[in-house]
Structure 1
Amino acid sequence: MKYWLAIWVLLLCLLPPAQGQSIPWLSDSANRQILCDEFARASLYGLDEHDYAYKTIIAIHANVGRIDSAAIERELTNAAIAFYADIAYGSVENRVSYDGISYQPRSTHVRDSIVAAIAEGRLADLAGRLEPHNQVYAEFKKRLALLERHKNRLVPPISSNLLDSTNRPLLERFYQLGFTDTLDYAADEDTLRNTLRIAQRTFEMMEDGKLRPGVLEELNIPVEKRLYELRHALNTWRWLNSIQQEQKVIVVDIPAANLFYLHKDSVLFYTRCIVGKANTPTTPLISQVHEVILFPYWNVPHDIAVRELLPAIKDAPLDYLEYGNYQVLDKTGKVLDPATIKWQQLNKGNFPYRLRQLFGCDNSLGIIKLNFFSPYSTYLHDTPNKSYFLFNGRYFSHGCIRVENVDSLAAMLEPGLHPFLENAPARVCELASDKGQLIFPLKQKVPLFILYEVAWPDNKSEIRFYDDVYNKVK
């Protein structure tokens, strides 16, 4: 039997994958068992075993009914291809409102990999070879395994803010979430306070060791919801991993308010961001950065112009516009004299103008803007107000993304910026007034992913649970 199986596998390897031949799982009990065991461990990969011929496998094990061997082997083959493709590329749709590149992983080799693994007697190693090989992915799996281990424990909600051993639900939740290795009902206060600091760090909160209402709220989120967040993010990271093996990519996560510049299995650059407030959210999207603008204008969005700037302009039109370095333009783009405009007659429904803030160090976009197509008037940019980057929850913008060290990122994208950016900040400000807006088209567009994942890595590749600031995860 093994001789004929080896001949069959060899022939199958030589056939083009488009013909979709089935693999003889029923006659190869050893590899069938390996496959079934992998399906059973699907949850540890962030997958669901019910997606992979679950009922058929149960029927095979129970010898239920008459077996249509051809149909079963087709089903198992398709399930195997789906499983290993999900291992390599992820299994969920990304939460984006606009996709400007429609990236699809090159997954045509998965079936060939299965056949080759069987021929080499290495099917048990295939998942490990296909899945990503970087630290972030390993940390995702580690965090997932911690929660999977105790997901079925019944833990009552924490209602007390006492930080001592009498608060049994708190001790149970620490253990369930993997913040402690053992369930110690006699833990002293110092131990519990240190454990609480670990939890606060995981939730991106101030690590003061105090059981405040916000911390209680995070601890009381059901473990199944945490698992859902982890599974979704893990599969998103797999999908990102496939494109970053081909080219450099920029990834912004909204809840984490951070940015990664990735290539292969390396983080080339990391920085903090400021994203949209809950009432002016940043929209998840996929696009491509195509140019860097040095000393950009800020074309004020209409809503901001009429809701926020216009009331202030009415109080002192010329002073406000001059102090803020604003120009007033008509619909054709012609610059107007603000003294000729009857500002008191304007309102939200009657504002036929466009406001533009001139370049300079006081410009709301700072000195750098990374441009990409967005139907939501979104971009990555600098900011003159750096203090907001010190907050843990950095949700302050009108929807655009302020990038803390955008000058370093811009220099990595476009080396031609070095002569400008190597100057001291004061000199850069002088150049802004001398040069005006400078546009640097990129020789190669860089894919940009603005995502919404509550479970996400920090700058040390540790997986944290961030605030579901827009209440998107149900």
Structure 2
Amino acid sequence: MSFSVKPVIIFMLLTVLPVNITTAEEDREALRIAVENLLQAGQLHIGDVDIASGELLAEFYERRDYAPVWAANDKVAELLQLIMATEKDGLDPSDYHLDAVRDIQSSLTAGRINTAAEITDADLILTDSLIRLGYHQRFGKVNPYSLDPHWNFRRELNGKNPAVSLQEAFDADSFAGYLETVFPRGWVYMQLRDGLARYREIEARGGWPEIPDGPTLRPGAADSRLATLQQRLTISGDMENAQSSAPITEYDEALQTGVRRFQKRHGLDSDAIIGPATIKALNVSAEQRVRQLEINLERARWVLDDIEDDFVLVNIAGFRVYLMRDRKIAWESKVQVGKTYHQSPVFRDEMKYLVFNPTWTVPYSIASKEMLPAIQADPEYFQKRDFDVKNRNGELIDPTTVDWSSVTRRNFGYTLVQRPGPANALGRVKFMFPNKHAVYLHDTPSKYLFEKSERAFSHGCIRVEHPYEFAEILLGPDWDQDRIKATLDTKEITTVSMPKSLPVLLLYWTAVVSQNGDVFFYNDVYQRDQNISAALDEPFRIELPDS
């Protein structure tokens, strides 16, 4: 669009000001009237540009005594560069008035912005653009509370007045430098960003071919699809370019290595057997993978300003737990997470202590709904599984004195407590961060389930494959494996405080990038990506939290 906007606001200005105004005082008066109009009307449209930052924009100009900040400022070109660069973050440059900012820069260069009305419109558009950009960089475009009412990660302004921060951005040597200082991005975010760039390049080159359906491919097989498979894996970087131009006729070792690498990066069994699950993952388009990375960059913006250098991170979608030291992976393990109908929640809390030889108090919903039929079918249920039974008063009772056939879910008045031991549902150790969800990390007797590629098996808690290693690292040098084993051998409930509490982040990311740059994609087991994707396409909204 060309920069010639004439909304109602300009008419108001022209009724009180001469047409060709150039003095600073008259420019201030024009801005003051525009801002007051914005506050009174609750909205402002300049041509086809919506000014969305309302009260923040008004406070910013009030603090400046309504002095324009852009007309005599060389930062417009830098703002335009920042807007263009947002595409690298998976954001949409049009959210920041891209076309209008281009037109303003061109008009400023040509000396076509001279009147108070023109200066006012340009200033408001440019400032609103910068506010929008900074808001998305700090908080993301989508408000996670709108998708998950249990979201409890902080969305704070670190005690700073946003209008003051905005002025600091103008006073800094560069916008980019200021944003990096205020909203630093660690390697997790930057690797996702680099991954997005790589997959966009693949998409721009036409993506990769689709593998036709057919029988399961096993090592050594001959199949007409092998050449297409080789091309597919080469494009995604899972195989090097073939050295020979001869057609591939056998599912050989080089191809198997590429398939295993692909399977590992996509949360599949790395067995080189190409069945329906592997074919399905191979045939997800490059365009879809680009969108997946954009979605997870948004998830990263929600949380990466709310973490310390050391923390525990559970990626629910990836079925893994990580111990981070100085924001780098110090230890990791497979985990099992909540079933699709018992989804593990996304939240953060503080891990404070461990319990060796824990008991398990069965949640009422599990006891009365899932366990009651088994109890009614087997008189020795409690004895076989080491359960104690308590009445409503918390007193231990003999379960054989209860007529379980008359017990229903509605009149289930008992508490079931599983005693410590290897059969305990929590295993031999649990990692505690008390929270309203009653979700924590723990050991499990169901070790065989760690062999599965998708591990959504629990009622919401996180089962850890190597809990004793985890305990040793968390408790420090005074707790080696010998001491842990001796503690377990006592069969007594033992609570041990950690030397220092650690933040625990339960997140749900369907795409991550390792420290060495490998891009990993995970199945969206809880079907959460689509809601974020749709919200990213919504118009801009600003919902500033408290400072």
TM-score (norm 2): 0.69
- The answer for unaligned runs of 5 or more in structure 1 is 1-15
Residue 57 of structure 1 is matched in structure 2 by 101
Instruction: Check if 1:214 corresponds to 2:277.
Output: yes
What does residue range 102-117 of structure 1 map to in structure 2 within 5 Å? 102-104=154-156, 106=158, 108=160, 111=166, 114-117=169-172
Cα distance in 2 between the residues matched to 1:184 and 1:20: 66
How far residue 287 of structure 1 moved from its aligned partner, in angstroms, is 3.1
SS in structure 2 of the partner of residue 243 of structure 1 = coil
Which of 379-388 and 320-329 deviates more? 379-388
What does residue range 421-440 of structure 1 map to in structure 2 within 5 Å? 422-423=482-483, 425=485, 427-432=486-491, 435=492, 437-440=493-496
Question: 1:263/1:91 Cα in 2 relative to 1: closer, same or farther (>3 Å)?
Answer: farther
Residue 123 of structure 2 is matched in structure 1 by 73
SS in structure 1 of the partner of residue 373 of structure 2 = helix
Residue 144 of structure 1 is matched in structure 2 by 196
Task: Give the AA of the match of 2:311.
Answer: V
Cα distance in 1 between the residues matched to 2:244 and 2:95: 39
What does residue range 63-462 of structure 1 map to in structure 2 within 5 Å? 63=107, 68-84=118-134, 86-87=136-137, 90-94=140-144, 96-100=148-152, 102-104=154-156, 106=158, 108=160, 111=166, 114-118=169-173, 122-123=174-175, 132=184, 134-152=186-204, 153=206, 157-161=210-214, 164=225, 167=228, 171=231, 175=235, 177=236, 179=238, 188-189=247-248, 193-245=256-308, 248-317=310-379, 319-414=380-475, 418=478, 422-423=482-483, 425=485, 427-432=486-491, 435=492, 437-440=493-496, 446-457=502-513, 462=518
Q: Is the 8 A contact 1:421 1:428 kept in 2?
A: no
How far residue 181 of structure 1 moved from its aligned partner, in angstroms, is 8.5
Instruction: Check if 1:473 corresponds to 2:535.
Output: no
Q: Is the 8 A contact 1:99 1:287 kept in 2?
A: no
Cα distance in 2 between the residues matched to 1:264 and 1:71: 46
Question: 1:74/1:293 Cα in 2 relative to 1: closer, same or farther (>3 Å)?
Answer: farther
SS in structure 1 of the partner of residue 305 of structure 2 = helix
Question: 1:111/1:461 Cα in 2 relative to 1: closer, same or farther (>3 Å)?
Answer: same
How far residue 178 of structure 1 moved from its aligned partner, in angstroms, is 5.6
Q: Is the 8 A contact 2:342 2:460 kept in 1?
A: yes
How far residue 369 of structure 1 moved from its aligned partner, in angstroms, is 1.8
Cα distance in 2 between the residues matched to 1:330 and 1:290: 31
Question: 1:463/1:334 Cα in 2 relative to 1: closer, same or farther (>3 Å)?
Answer: farther
Q: Is the 8 A contact 2:153 2:306 kept in 1?
A: no
Q: Is the 8 A contact 2:468 2:484 kept in 1?
A: no
Q: Is the 8 A contact 1:274 1:397 kept in 2?
A: yes
Cα distance in 1 between the residues matched to 2:387 and 2:288: 47
Residue 37 of structure 2 is matched in structure 1 by none
Q: Is the 8 A contact 2:139 2:155 kept in 1?
A: no
Kindly report the root-mean-square deviation, in angstroms, between the aligned alpha carbons of the 2 structures.
Answer: 3.9
How far residue 220 of structure 1 moved from its aligned partner, in angstroms, is 2.7
Task: Give the AA of the match of 1:402.
Answer: R
How far residue 257 of structure 1 moved from its aligned partner, in angstroms, is 1.1
Which of 286-295 and 47-56 deviates more? 286-295
How far residue 42 of structure 1 moved from its aligned partner, in angstroms, is 1.3
Which of 357-366 and 53-62 deviates more? 53-62
Cα distance in 2 between the residues matched to 1:302 and 1:283: 19
Pick aligned residue for 1:37 from 78, 81, 100: 81
Cα distance in 1 between the residues matched to 2:62 and 2:496: 48
Q: What's the CA shift string for 1:350-377, capped at 9, x where partnerless? A: 4221211012233111222223344443
SS in structure 2 of the partner of residue 332 of structure 1 = coil
Q: Is the 8 A contact 1:105 1:242 kept in 2?
A: no
Question: 1:154/1:233 Cα in 2 relative to 1: closer, same or farther (>3 Å)?
Answer: closer
Question: 1:285/1:91 Cα in 2 relative to 1: closer, same or farther (>3 Å)?
Answer: same
How far residue 333 of structure 1 moved from its aligned partner, in angstroms, is 1.6
Question: 1:151/1:185 Cα in 2 relative to 1: closer, same or farther (>3 Å)?
Answer: farther
Residue 27 of structure 1 is matched in structure 2 by 72
SS in structure 2 of the partner of residue 279 of structure 1 = coil
How far residue 73 of structure 1 moved from its aligned partner, in angstroms, is 2.5
Q: What's the CA shift string for 1:75-107, capped at 9, x where partnerless? A: 323433443454466444446442346353538
Q: What's the CA shift string for 1:263-306, capped at 9, x where partnerless? A: 54333432221112223322223333344323221011233323
SS in structure 1 of the partner of residue 432 of structure 2 = strand
Question: 1:56/1:79 Cα in 2 relative to 1: closer, same or farther (>3 Å)?
Answer: same
Residue 12 of structure 1 is matched in structure 2 by none
Cα distance in 1 between the residues matched to 2:424 and 2:345: 23
SS in structure 2 of the partner of residue 234 of structure 1 = helix
Cα distance in 2 between the residues matched to 1:359 and 1:262: 30
Cα distance in 2 between the residues matched to 1:178 and 1:60: 43
Of all paired residues, the percent bearing the same amino acid is 23
Q: Is the 8 A contact 2:233 2:262 kept in 1?
A: no
Cα distance in 1 between the residues matched to 2:275 and 2:195: 24
How far residue 325 of structure 1 moved from its aligned partner, in angstroms, is 1.0
Question: 1:445/1:331 Cα in 2 relative to 1: closer, same or farther (>3 Å)?
Answer: farther
Residue 464 of structure 1 is matched in structure 2 by 520
Cα distance in 2 between the residues matched to 1:19 and 1:182: 61
Cα distance in 2 between the residues matched to 1:173 and 1:25: 50
Which of 227-236 and 148-157 deviates more? 148-157
Cα distance in 2 between the residues matched to 1:424 and 1:292: 11
Q: How many residues align?
A: 447
SS in structure 2 of the partner of residue 99 of structure 1 = coil
Task: Give the AA of the match of 2:91.
Answer: L
How far residue 328 of structure 1 moved from its aligned partner, in angstroms, is 0.7
Q: What's the CA shift string for 1:234-279, capped at 9, x where partnerless? A: 243344332334x643221111111223354333432221112223
Q: Is the 8 A contact 1:97 1:283 kept in 2?
A: no
